[in-house]
Amino acid sequence: MNQPRDTVAPDAPPSVMDGGVGKVAVPVAEALDRVGKLYAAGKTAEAEQICRQIIERLPNLPDPYNMLAVIRNARGDPKQAVNLLSRAIKMRPDIAAFHSNLGEIERQRGRLVEAEIALRKAIALDPKSAQSLSNLGIVHYERKQYEEAAQVYERAIALEPRFAEAYNNLGNAYLALERRDEAIACYQSAVTYRDNYAEAYNNMGSALRDRGDYESAEHAYRKAIGLRSTYLEPHNSLALMLAQLDRTEEALRYLADALRVDEHHVDTLVNVAKVQLRRGAHAVAEQAARYAIQRDPKKADAYGVLAQIRHELDDHQTALAALDEAIKLEPEHADFYSFRGVVYKALGRLEEAKTEILKALSLNPKLYSAYSNLNDLETFTSDSALIEQMKALLDSADDPAAEKYIPLYFALGKAHDDGGEHATALEYFSAGAKLKRALLSYDEAATFRFFDEIKAAFPAKVFTDRPFAGLSSAKPVFIVGMPRSGSTLVEQILSSHPDVFGAGEVKMFHRSLALLRDRFPAIPKFPAMMSALSGPHFSEIGQTYLDEMTRFAPDAKRVTDKLLSNYYFVGLINLIFPNAKIIHTVRNPVDTCLSAYTKLFKDEMSHSYDLGELGRYYLHYQDLMAHWQSVLPPGVILPMVYEDVIADLEGSARALVSHLGLEWNDACLDFHKSTRPVKTASVVQVRRPVYKTSVERWRKYGDGLAPLVAALNYPVNAKRGGSRKGGESKGG
C-alpha cells in the first residue's frame, strides 16, 4: 500500500493538534509522518486517532483521508476505506497513489473490475509506478490471466530492478504457466533483495516440489517457517508434501504446530483430514473435515475431502451430497466433477461417471488424474480428440518426465490398446511405469526375505499343534491373490448371493495386528510376532477383526474381505479363524502381471512398475501360496482360476458357493446386475457379463514382454494359468 503524499505547500504549513502528551500543535507533514510510523509499527489505533484529528482540523486536505483509508482497511473495514479514498480522489483526482490504494483495496474485496479501473488510472497518472503495476499484475493473476500478469510484473521489475515483491509475484505467474525453472529463478531474486522474505521461500518450496526436488523443497519450506513461525501456509504445504512421500507422522506434526498457532484455522483442519484419510484414520479425518465445515460452511475443499472419506467408507450417498455442496460453492473446480465421476463409477452409474469426468476435463484439460479416471469408461478410437489432447499436453511439456504426467502415459497406453496398436501401447505404459518406479522405494532383496520369513514362521507343525483353539466364526471369507487375477469378479459373484456381503478391499486384518502391537509394544512385527503371541493375543486380533467386519453387515452369514495382500497372513488367519474359508484367485501369470503393469494403482504396488521385478515378485508370491496349500488343512483354500470362470461361469459359481457352505442361488449368475459399490481397478468390467477378450491377452504384445516372460520362466507355448481340479494352485 502506498504511503501518503505530502500535498501541503512547504512555505505555509498548517498545523494540527498531535495526539501525544500535551496535544502540541505540529505541522501536518510531521503529523502524517508520525501516522506512517505508527502504522508501520502496527499501532493502528493510535495512527487512526491522529488521522481523525487532522481531518477534523483540516477537512479539505486529501492525504489524511488516504492514510485513514489504509488504516481502516488494515483494521478490517474495507468498505469505509473505499469511501475515504473516494473523498481523497474527489479532492485530488491527479494523485496516482490514491487510485493505486483504491485499486488494491478493491482487489482485496474481490471487486476485480473496480480494482483494474483504479489501477489503470494510477498507471496512466504515473507510468513509472512499479507498485501500481505489481498490483495490477495481482488482479490479472486472480483472474487466472497468467500471461497478462507476467507481462505486468515484468514491467514493474524493469522500472524497479530490486522489487522483491514483484519477483515473487512473477514467480507465481511463471509457476501457473508451468515455466517452473524461471519461477524458481524469480523466487531466488526475491530472497536476494529481501533476505527475510518468508512468502518467497514458501512459493519456492512449492516450485521445487512440483519439479520433484523434494529435498530442496523441504529446505525452502523449513526456511519459511523459521523466518516466521506463525506463517501457516508453509506448515501446510510441507505437511502435504511429506504425506505425499508417505511421511505422514511428520506431516501431522507440522499440522499440529499450525493448529497451536490457530486451532480454528480452516485450511489446516482440511489438511489434517487429508493426511488422516491417507493414513486410513477415517474417524479422525471426518472429525477434522466436519469441524472445518462448522468453522467455515463455505469452504468447498472441506466438503471435497469429506466426500473422499465417505466414499472410502462406502457411504456413497453422503459422498455425493458433500460433492454437491462443494460444486455449489465452486462450480468451476474441476477436481470435484472428476471425483464425482469416481463415485458414480463405484455405484455402476457409468454413463454419468463419464459425463462428470469429461466435464472436469472441459474445465481443466490439465487435470491429469482425470484422464486416468476416465480410462476404463472410454473406448478410444484412432480419431479421438482426447488422444490428441493428451499428446499435445506431453508435446508442450517443459519436462515430459515430471511426475504429474504419469497418468497421461497410462491413459495413452490404454488408448492405443483400444486401437489395436499394442506395441505403441506398451511403449506408453512402460514410459509411465518407469517414471512411477523412479518415485518408489522398493527393496527387492528385503521383500524376498520377508516371504522366506513368513514360510519359516509357519511350518506344517504349527497347524497340527495349534497354539490357539481358534474363534468359531465362519463369517469371514478371505479372497486373496495377485491384483488383476479375477478377484473382483469372484467377489461380485459371491456378493450377489443374499447371504453374502461383499466388504471389498478392507485393511482390517492388518489394522488388527497394528492395534495389538500398539497395546503391546514388545510384540515384534509380522511374521516375527509369531514367537511372541499367546492365546489372548490371538483372540484379541480375531475379535477386533470380527467386530469390525460384523459392523458392515450384522445379519449376513458371510462377509468377504478382498484385500488381496492378505495372502501374507493366510496361516495366521487360519490359526485364528479355523472355520473361515479362503479363496485364491488365479489367472495366467503373464496376463496377470501384464494387467497389473498397465494399471496406475491408487496404492503403491511398488513391485509392479518394472517387468523383471514384477515377474520375480510373482514367483515368490506363487511359492508362498503353494506353501499355504501344502501346510493348511484340506478344504480351507479354494483356488479359483479366472480362465475357468470365463469358460464355465455356472460351474465356477456353484463351486464358490459350495466352498462357503451355502445353498445355491441363481442370483450369482447375474452378478453384473448387482448395484453394490465396487472401487477396484475392475470396477467397469464387473458391471458386464463375462467376456473372453482378456484371456491370453499377453500374446498381442510380442517381444516387448520378453523381460516379464523371462522373469516368470514362463513356457511360451503354455495355454492356461492353472486348474481348479484337484485343488492345485499352479500359476497362482
Residue 356 lies inside a defined structural domain of this protein:
no
570 vs 624: CA distance, rounded Å: 10
Alpha-carbon span 423 to 608, nearest angstrom: 19
List, for residues 318-342, the tens digit of each pLDDT value.
999 999 999 999 999 999 999 999 9
User: For 41-57, how does the pLDDT look when each residue is reduced to its tens digit (9 = 90+)?
Assistant: 888 898 888 889 888 88
pLDDT band, very low/low/confident/very high, at 346 (cuts 50, 70, 90): confident
In a domain, 375, yes or no: no
Q: Is 437 strand, coil or helix?
A: helix
Are the C-beta atoms of 592 and 485 separated by less than 8 Å? Answer: yes
- How many other C-beta atoms are found inside a 10 Å radius of the C-beta of residue 46? 17
| 580 within domain boundaries | yes
Domain's final residue, options 225, 243, 261: 243
CATH of the domain at 495: 3.40.50.300
CATH code, 143: 1.25.40.10
Strand order in the sheet with 558-561: 500-502, 558-561, 476-481, 581-586, 637-641
User: How far is residue 240's CA from residue 234's CA, in Å, rounded to a whole number?
Assistant: 10
Total count of residues recorded for the chain: 732
Q: Quickly tell me which residue has 506353501 as its cell.
A: 627
| Rounded Cα gap, residues 339 and 301, in angstroms | 12
pLDDT band at 463 (very low <50, low <70, confident <90, very high): very high
Domain boundary (243, 260, 279) is at 243
Residue 722 pLDDT > 70, yes or no?
no
- Domain-embedded: residue 368: no
Q: Does residue 372 lie within any of the structural domains?
A: no
Q: Please report, rounded to a whole number, the percentage of residues in the chain having pLDDT higher than 90.
A: 70
Q: Pull the grid cell for residue 135.
A: 498490483
* Domain range for 65: 15-243
Instruction: Confirm whether 347 is domain-assigned.
Output: no
Domain count across the chain: 2
Please report whether residue 260 resides in a domain.
Answer: no
Note the pTM of the prediction, 2 decimals. Answer: 0.78
Alpha-carbon distance 152 to 529, whole Å? 64
Is 126 inside any structural domain?
yes
CB 32 within 8 A of CB 67: yes
Radius of gyration of the chain (CA): 32
Residue 198 has a pLDDT of 97
pLDDT of 693: 60
Decide if pLDDT at 15 tops 50: no
